[in-house]
Amino acid sequence: MSILEKTELIKNKELKAEDNVENFMEIINKKNKSINALLEVNEERAVKKAEEISRKIKNNEKVGSLAGLVFAVKANINVEDFTISAASKTLENYIGSYDATVIKKIKEEDGIIIGMTNLDEFAAGSSTESSYYGLTNNPSAPGRISGGSSGGSAAAIASHMCDIAIGSDTGGSIRNPASHCGVIGFKPTYGGVSRQGLLDLSMSLDQIGPIANDVSGIAIALNNLISHDPHECTSLKWDTPNFLDAINTDDLNGKKIATIKQFHEITDDKINKVIDDSIDKIEDIGGEIVELDFNYIDLALPTYYLINYVEFFSSTRKYDGRKYGYKIEDACGDEVLRRIKLGSYISQQEFSGKYYKKALQSRSLIRTEINKLLKDVDLIVGPTVPKLPHKIGDKLDPMEMYAYDVLTVIANLGGIPAGSIKAGESNGIPVGLQIQGKPEEDYKILELMHLLEVR
Ligand code: GLN
């Protein structure tokens, strides 16, 4: 049953919202201990909300478009009365005192929040191994990392602990774990979804988005998450389509779909094999495939990480231990400390324009180039992640960890929408296809995802 079908069953009184919650609770109770996708669960509040929805339905009152759907939220997004730890000891005692804009919207539309998901500490990572609360196992490839930083959200979806999980994506954190866990993850156009209430990793790159098991779930989520936020200066005024219409397309009608030579060159052969099959499929469903060059691939990671360090350093200055939590430098793990130290160093050097200014110039080069490539085509497709998820216990150095992100950071640097959908498997390990589009053409990505899902 798709998420769309489920919402109809609930509205038509064929499935009770309470039963939807209880079914998920059963799975959570059975599996979460070993998977560690959810850091906190509140069954009581979820059931109460479900009962309220059922009452409205019984009385034939109008309910919201998310009525009875169960959500899990990455623990770096504020939800009232849950622990918003960002998986850091720094904030282990910080209880959300308000709802982020996206959470308000989910609640208004009668979505049910069941709990908070695991992540890399402050979303700074690609494996969810740096969580203060322990790593998240990959339900689709046991014994391997779930990816990150929204590893808990992707694993919650892959193990069917909720209908829709909310993540954040600064350099790939929705798409990377979606790829490793074999589910669908979507990073909308920058500015489409309000960031108000999200703990920043790197504010000029951060974007909130959904993870789900089917395209209708992503579409329903986007219909609610994307909207103008007058309190946020980067928020877009965007006349959005009904994203659910994307699941009615039945042909690509000659849409031009690009592959990028350099994306293939840096990717593991095992992954390319799976991706090539997907590209053949896209041709079968009416896409016209063209190959393009992206000449700045070597700049992607240095540019991304420089900007990330500087913006993260600045956003962590509020964690000084005076108002709430501990002083971050006293409580955080290695990767977070590395970013704070390097961000501080780079900021101090800034009078000479040595690093950050160069990173901004290189960012605008990357943005111009990716948008130029997209001018002549509808979408760009390729691998989401260039290598398979490593085994739990394998120790990676920082550069090896960063290398996971080379194909995903481009969309954040360029502000463009991008999603990942399962393309297939390599030796039983899921492989994701990344689909990128022009700003505000998120809809086209969903259309292609839908066609791949049904064929
Ligand atoms: N892995 C990237 C990083 O460590 C991306 C993280 C993210 O998107 N939140 O910064």
The predicted model gives 251-278 an average pLDDT of 97
Q: Does residue 173 carry a catalytic annotation?
A: yes
CB 167 within 8 A of CB 74: yes
Q: Percent of the chain at pLDDT above 90? A: 96
Residue 88 CA to ligand 1 center (angstroms) comes to 15
The predicted model gives 239-243 an average pLDDT of 96
Q: Where are the domains of the chain?
A: 3-247, 249-299+356-453
* Same CATH fold assignment for domains 3-247 and 249-299+356-453: yes
Highest CATH level, class, for 249-299+356-453: alpha beta
Residue 10 CA to ligand 1 center (angstroms) comes to 36
One-character DSSP codes across 378-426: SEEEEESSSSPPPBTT----HHHHHGGGTTTHHHHHHT--EEEEEEEEE
CB 393 within 8 A of CB 144: no
Sheet holding 70-74, edge to edge: 38-41, 112-117, 70-74, 164-169, 207-212, 184-187, 418-426, 429-437, 379-383, 256-260, 288-292
Residue 272 CA to ligand 1 center (angstroms) comes to 23
CB 295 within 8 A of CB 261: no
> What whole-number distance in Å separates Cα of residue 343 and Cα of residue 279?
40
Q: Percent of the chain at pLDDT above 70? A: 100
- CB of 126 closer than 6 A to ligand 1? yes
Query: Which of 311, 309, 307, 335 lies closest to 88, judged by CA?
Result: 335
Q: Would you place residue 233 in the very low, low, confident or very high pLDDT band (cuts 50, 70, 90)? A: confident
Q: Does residue 74 carry a catalytic annotation?
A: yes
The predicted model gives 141-164 an average pLDDT of 98
Return phi, psi of residue 451, to 5°: -65, -40
> What whole-number distance in Å separates Cα of residue 282 and Cα of residue 451?
8
Q: Would you place residue 91 in the very low, low, confident or very high pLDDT band (cuts 50, 70, 90)? A: very high
CB 209 within 8 A of CB 188: yes
**Per-residue pLDDT at 352:** 67
- Distance from chain centroid for Cα 30: 25
State the architecture of 3-247 in CATH terms. Answer: Alpha-Beta Complex (3.90)
Q: What are the pLDDT digits (tens) for 63-86?
A: 999 999 999 999 999 999 999 999
Q: What are the pLDDT digits (tens) for 18-58?
A: 999 999 999 999 999 999 999 999 999 999 999 999 999 99
Q: Is 81 helix (H, G, I), strand (E, B) or coil?
A: coil
Pocket test for ligand 1, best of 120, 175, 305 (most atoms within 8 A of CB): 120
